[in-house]
Amino acid sequence: MTDLAIAANGLRKSYGDKTVLDGVDLAVPQGTVFSLLGPNGAGKTTVVKILSTLISADPGTGDIHVGGHDLARDPQAVRAAIGVTGQFSAVDGLITGEENMLLMADLHHLSRSEGRRVTAELLERFDLTEAARKPASTYSGGMKRRLDIAMTLVGGPRIIFLDEPTTGLDPRSRHAMWQVVRELVAGGVTVLLTTQYLEEADQLADRIAVLHDGGIAAQGTAEELKRLVPGGHVRLRFTDPAAYRAALAALPETTADDETLTLRIPSGGSQRELRSLLGRLDTAGVEADELTVHTPDLDDVFFALTGGDDQPHLPRQPKETVR
């Protein structure tokens, strides 16, 4: 248990009769990026708010440990271990970027010279030195977000919550933020990241949990999640109708498109499956003009897990998934 940065059991929260979280279990090993993926209103922010001590969980929630500290019994110790950057910038717009940074340094009880040094360093690192003496309210969205994360890093937290850190950012700022996350993890920091962008989770996260209807619909690595959904297939395209018909005869479980002379064979895309497919084609003596392997991406996973009622819901993952 000690190597878990975040361990939460049966996280529950409801507002009035609206249940937001209905028993969410999380286990985030130290030094990893864990991504909570879900649509708007899935409860991602609520999870972050509870784990960062901003709001309390409902009674009936099990033990929550963050950084090895019991969240209910010792919230101050948890606060000392974490840093939070929310979806809405937590900067003081009335004062300058530099003053915001120095405020954080003071609240972390750094000495004056140490505070100045850390401030200058982080402003430089986040490309804010030029704007340092302007009021934060005049910053662009990307600059505010950079200032926000710079402020979070002042105390050198070992566990960082990033709640939709790239929502509303342009592609360049988004990639810059990804780079920041990678650097943090390289430094041994644990990151809990919420996002509604599948690509972001795919790019950054060691493990992903899909949050839906107040529970974890599925979790695992991006690869494991992709394997959960059907949809992977191999596509063979032909130009010669005779070869097309021969292949169709050799591969009975195939969806065929006579107009484009394309065959679609269900397949997980593993090496063994491909070899067997190619073997059967060789035996039949046909050669396709084009062969492409389609693996389901996280979009497929997301829609399969969180889609409408007509789509089959996957059973919830057992608590321990094999890595």
Partner 1 sequence: MSTLSLAVRDSSTMLRRNLLHARRYPSLTLNLLLTPIMLLLLFVYVFGDTMSAGIGGAGAGRSAYVAYLVPGLLLMTIGSTTIGTAVSVSNDMSEGIIARFRTMAIHRGSVLVGHVVGSVLQSVISVVLVGAVGVAVGFRSTDATALEWLAAFGLLVLFATALTWIAVGMGLVSPNAEAASNNAMPLIFLPLISSAFVPVHAMPGWFQPIAEYQPFTPAIETLRGLLLGTEIGNNGWLALAWCVGLAVLGYRWSVSKFDQDPR
Q: Which residues bind partner 1 (CB under 8 A)?
A: 52-56, 76-77, 79-80, 82, 84, 86, 88-95, 99, 103, 106-109, 135, 151, 155
To partner 1, the closest distance from the beta carbon of 56 in angstroms equals 6
Q: What angle do CA 157, 320, 87 make, to 5 degrees?
A: 35
Longest dimension (CA), the chain: 81
The residue (of 72 and 80) whose beta carbon lies closer to partner 1 is 80
Torsion of the alpha carbons at 257, 262, 268 and 272, rounded to the nearest 10: 130
Look at the alpha carbons of 77, 81, 85, 89 in this order and tell me if their dihedral is positive or negative.
Answer: positive
To partner 1, the closest distance from the beta carbon of 114 in angstroms equals 15
To partner 1, the closest distance from the beta carbon of 95 in angstroms equals 6
Structure tokens at 233: 């297939």
The residue (of 82 and 211) whose beta carbon lies closer to partner 1 is 82
The residue (of 71 and 301) whose beta carbon lies closer to partner 1 is 71
Work out whether strand 159-163 and strand 82-85 pair parallel, antiparallel, or are unpaired.
Answer: parallel
To partner 1, the closest distance from the beta carbon of 61 in angstroms equals 14
Q: Mark 213-249 as b/e (b = at least 16 C-beta within 10 Å).
A: ebbbbbbbebebbbbbbeebbbbbebeeeebbebbbe
The residue (of 154 and 216) whose beta carbon lies closer to partner 1 is 154
The residue (of 56 and 255) whose beta carbon lies closer to partner 1 is 56
Residue 136 DSSP label: G
H helical segments located in 57-170:
75-81, 97-107, 112-125, 141-153
The residue (of 158 and 313) whose beta carbon lies closer to partner 1 is 158
The residue (of 189 and 229) whose beta carbon lies closer to partner 1 is 189
The residue (of 56 and 260) whose beta carbon lies closer to partner 1 is 56
The residue (of 52 and 262) whose beta carbon lies closer to partner 1 is 52
Residues linked to residue 82 through DSSP beta bridges, in sequence order: 159
To partner 1, the closest distance from the beta carbon of 290 in angstroms equals 52
To partner 1, the closest distance from the beta carbon of 264 in angstroms equals 49
To partner 1, the closest distance from the beta carbon of 21 in angstroms equals 14
To partner 1, the closest distance from the beta carbon of 85 in angstroms equals 9
Residues linked to residue 96 through DSSP beta bridges, in sequence order: 135
Selection from 235, 191, 221, 178 nearest residue 48 by Cα: 191
Structure tokens at 46: 């609520």
Length of the chain: 323
What is residue 206's three-state secondary structure? Answer: coil
Selection from 300, 319, 52 nearest residue 209 by Cα: 319
To partner 1, the closest distance from the beta carbon of 108 in angstroms equals 8
